[in-house]
Amino acid sequence: MEKIKPDLSNLNKTFPEHFTQEQIAKAKTLFFKKLAESAHRFYGGKIETVPKAPVPGFNWFNVWYTPGVSKVSTNIRDDNDASFRLSNRGNLVAVVSDSTRVLGDGDCTPPGGLGVMEGKAFLMKYLGGVDGVALCIDSRDEKGKNDPERIIQFVKMVQHSFGAVNLEDISQPNCFRVLDVLREECDIPVWHDDAQGTACVTLAGVINALKLAGKKMHDVKIVLHGAGASNTTIARLLLADGADPSRMIIFDSKSSLHKGRTDIEADKRFYRKWELCEKTNPGVVSTMEEAMRDADVLISLSTPGPDVIKPEWVASMAPKSVVFACANPVPEIYPYKAKEAGAFIIATGRGDFPNQVNNSIGFPGILKGALMVRARKITDQMAIRAAYSLASYAEKRGIDPENIVPKMDEPDVFPEEAADVAMQAIADGVARVEISREEAFAIAARDIRHAREMTEALTRQGFIRPPEPQMLEEALEWAISQVS
């Protein structure tokens, strides 16, 4: 075994040689969890607030605060849009969650979502040049029931301090109402990353996977396993992009979606699922085994695996099949098992396997694009434009069955995506200001470069400490001991 490096680039080589692929996959999951716990304790989280303006002398306190700053307040009073120019509002996102569906762990209590929400803010800054604030709130009413109206009211109240709102980890069906109401009633973009972000990146992956497979969107049979916020929005974007509803079959925890699901029709909270019941699966295929037969594409965002999707189901799919097993933290089927069963392309939500289909390559660029033109909302067309931007970027630099979408360490993808989204916002009539694509790309590239160079400078100068080798070694030893 090699000694583990701080950049984790040699992680696979640090496990015992006798470990099987499945043991390595399990050990990596445990390693990342243990290291995350240690690293978050070591750093006290991963986000802090730092000034962006200097203090050349004592009297500058009178500029940044009273009495000088009263002029800023009265300017904004007379023109609220001035807040985007005279404060950080124009580049600031609220990451809002009630923590009722955190990753694969379910309801983690309101503060339990802070690790994820800080993570979103971290990626927004480093990848998109956007500032973010984690806001984990208690949406429970007097009876202890999570009330979507509380989230709606909270976001409406705080929207005047932010340029956009990123909703995250809100359980269904509350997430549907929260997003749909706030998209229409807020004066800034409200984006649900679990739904729209995941859908955008998944669409990008499907676009390129079908290119490699030599298939067309309107011809393929698509099975979606899971009918939560992510998969229902993925289905909606796939249909908007030309997928045939008669060749789409969606499964929730009970059965497939179809017009006979009176249980869904009767519960008005699940209106998004009922819309898909009315459109898809007209032949009423009711089992996964039957649905997977001759399917071209499987998109699974359901229960963490590794044995949720059966290899025999994958083996029954059409030639050059595409399998997206994107549950976190463990995919519904491990990639090597899907490959052994005959899958042509396999994607997961994890970065330690090929083809990470994860919203992390979507939301930093999408939000940056919306903020640059001070968009009032993010339309479905903006999300679809972002998907094509991601797919096009990947295709230009080269795609293959194990490399269908850009990765987070490809910095140029984010300004490209941001510029495309900004242009679509202008075309859709939701932008407050208009700029050229060249201007949008330059602004995004500048801000992203600034964020990365600032992080690197703070690390070089010791303001950000390097991770301690002992943390890595202890996490690795523990993970190996749990799997051996």
Q: Residues with catalytic annotation?
A: 65, 120
- Residue 172 CA to residue 170 CA, distance in Å, equals 7
Joined tokens for residue 135: 């806001």
Q: How many CA atoms lie within 13 A of 93 on its CB side?
A: 38
| DSSP H helical ranges for 110-228 | 114-128, 148-158, 174-185, 198-213
**Taking a C-beta distance cutoff of 8 angstroms, is the pair 417, 424 a contact?**
no
What type of residue sits at position 336?
Y
What type of residue sits at position 71?
K
**Taking a C-beta distance cutoff of 8 angstroms, is the pair 440, 366 a contact?**
no
- Residue 249 CA to residue 145 CA, distance in Å, equals 32
Bridge partners of 248, per DSSP, are 222
Specify the residue for token string 């984990």: 136
Q: Left (φ > 0), alpha (ψ -120 to 50) or beta: where does 477 sit?
A: alpha
**Taking a C-beta distance cutoff of 8 angstroms, is the pair 158, 133 a contact?**
no
